[in-house]
Chains A and B, each alone.
Chain A
Amino acid sequence: MPSLSKMVLLGAALMLVAASYAQAQVGLTSNVATVALTATKAPTLTVTPNASTATLASITDNSNANDFTPVSLTTDWNLTAGSSVRLIGWFATPAQALVNGTSFIPSSKVEGRVGAAAYAPFTGAAVGGVGVAGGSLQLFSQAVGSGSFTGTRTDQLDLRLNLVGTTTVAGDYLGTLNVQAVVQ
């Protein structure tokens, strides 16, 4: 005949077993499966003009008072390396910057400037592989480095024809100026 204390102990043991069995079912968790995520951000460098056309309504021969309508250029960069951001304007065929049939205005007669800089002709060399020899002009060079690898700036590009000493054939002269930024 089991004593009362033995019966109490047996009951307690049974309760513990039951409780542990119930706990095993509550909050059952699976293994941890994983998904590897990767996202890559590439360096960026963009130039955005506010207008695609600059016009000069009436050419004046033998004068440099031939201003095109100004163009605003926004240059954005987000880099990891480099020491400067440079903006280059260039004509693909310097001898024929603007064309009117068989009449040409060379890039040496087209001048540009940014901000307070003096006008300069598009006769320079390419910069960092951007541009054409004898048909290019560096419009600005801005230093960049740690802390300034991300930036933006907006500049007004003034353009004019310097026709001092030149007479043109009447007609419409058309040309394309390329604007491109480069990191060096």
Chain B
Amino acid sequence: MRSGRSLLSLVALSAALALRAPELSAQAHVISLAATAPSTLSVTVTSGAVQNIAAVTDNAINSFPTPVVVQTAWNVNPGQTNTMNLVAYFTTPAQAMVGGAVQIPSSRIQGRMLSGSPTAFTAISQNGVGGVGTAGGSLLLFSISINGTNKDASRTDNLDLQLNLVGFPTLPPGSYSGVLNLRAVTQ
């Protein structure tokens, strides 16, 4: 009699469990997915990275022999980028080129970019752009608007350089060297 009652209870519990099981479920969790494609911006000198004037002439304009070919490539968000700018600059404008104790300032180095902004030779003596460059030692080479059609693009430009020694004190013989920096910046 006792065992018969126990068996009945077990059957009843099993039935209750069987009826309850379909109602079990874990709490729902939301997993947010995010993937960001970073903006890219690069400047490459494809040729003319080394410029040499073999024989400088005093009180004259001395042209560097070949153009500096500059490729600028970018992939940016047009909704957050207004312009793409390429800036040339010397780190220390007063000492753009140095030979011993003699210094040639950046105002004596002139550049032009026929496909850019300074189509006439212009001294590299402007201020920086968007935090790129140095005060009095920079030159904006181009500035273009960014929109949906050119948000992912590149361009190649020729930068012509010359050393203008007209009116400059006679240089002592020797070798004068310097480094011109090129950097792009969005605004």
**A contact residues vs B (CB 8 Å cutoff):** 22, 24-44, 78-80, 149-150
How far apart are the CA atoms of A33 and B50 in the complex, in Å?
12
Q: What's the least CB distance linking A12 to chain B, in Å?
A: 18
A-B contact pairs, 10 of them (CB 8 A): A24-B38, A25-B80, A31-B42, A33-B182, A34-B45, A36-B49, A36-B50, A38-B52, A39-B62, A80-B173
Q: A78-B170, A80-B174 are in contact. List 12 more A-B contacts (CB 8 A).
A: A25-B39, A27-B185, A28-B41, A30-B41, A36-B177, A39-B56, A39-B163, A39-B176, A41-B172, A41-B174, A41-B175, A80-B172
| Nearest neighbor of A28 in chain B, beta-carbon distance | B186
Interface residues of B (CB under 8 A from A): 38-39, 41-45, 48-56, 58, 62, 64, 68, 70, 72, 74, 76-77, 80-81, 96-97, 99, 104, 109, 130-132, 159, 161, 163, 170-187
Residue pairs across A and B with CB atoms within 8 Å: the count is 141
Closest residue to B50 on the A side, CB-wise?
A36
Contact B161 A37 (CB under 8 A): yes
- B71 closest partner in A (C-beta): A33
In the complex, chain B residues whose CB is within 8 Å of the CB of A39: 52-53, 56, 62, 97, 104, 163, 175-177
The smallest C-beta distance from B183 to any residue of chain A, in angstroms, reads: 5
Contact: B181 with A38, CB < 8 Å? no
Inter-subunit contact B52/A40 (CB<8 Å):
yes
The majority secondary structure among interface residues of chain B is strand
The answer to whether A22 and B62 have CB atoms under 8 Å apart is: no
Residue of A25, A28, A34, A78 touching B180 (CB-CB under 8 A): A34
Q: Which of A31, A35, A42 interacts with B173 by CB under 8 Å?
A: A42
B177–A26 touching, CB < 8 Å: no
Tell me whether B183 and A33 are in contact (CB under 8 A). yes
Residues of B within 8 A of A40 (CB): 52-56, 174-176
Q: A25 CA to B132 CA in the complex, in Å?
A: 15
Measured between beta carbons, the chain B residues less than 8 angstroms from A36 are 49-51, 177-179
| CB nearest to A81 among chain B residues | B173
Would A32 and B182 be within 8 Å (CB), given that A37-B177, A40-B175, A80-B174 are in contact? yes
Q: How far is the CB of B18 from chain A (nearest CB, A)?
A: 35
- How far apart are the CA atoms of A37 and B176 in the complex, in Å? 8
What residue of chain A has the Cβ atom nearest to residue B41's Cβ? A30
Residues of A within 8 A of B70 (CB): 33
Q: How far is the CB of A110 from chain B (nearest CB, A)?
A: 35
Find the A residue at minimum CB distance from B132: A29
B164 nearest CB across to chain A (Å): 12
Minimal beta-carbon separation of B47 from chain A (angstroms): 11
Distance of A40 Cα from B99 Cα, bound (Å): 9
Q: Give the docked Cα–Cα distance between A27 and B82 (Å).
A: 10
Residue from B38, B51, B130 within 8 A of A27 (CB atoms): B130
**Contact between B183 and A30, CB atoms less than 8 A apart:** yes
User: Chain B: which residue is nearest A23 at the CB level?
Assistant: B80
Q: How far is the CB of B6 from chain A (nearest CB, A)?
A: 46
Decide if B45 touches A25 in the complex (CB within 8 Å): no
Return chain A residues, CB-CB under 8 Å to B104. 39
How far, in angstroms, from A32 to B163 measured CA to CA in the complex?
A: 22
A145→B172 CA distance, assembly (Å): 13
Q: Residues of A contacting B159 with CB < 8 Å?
A: 35
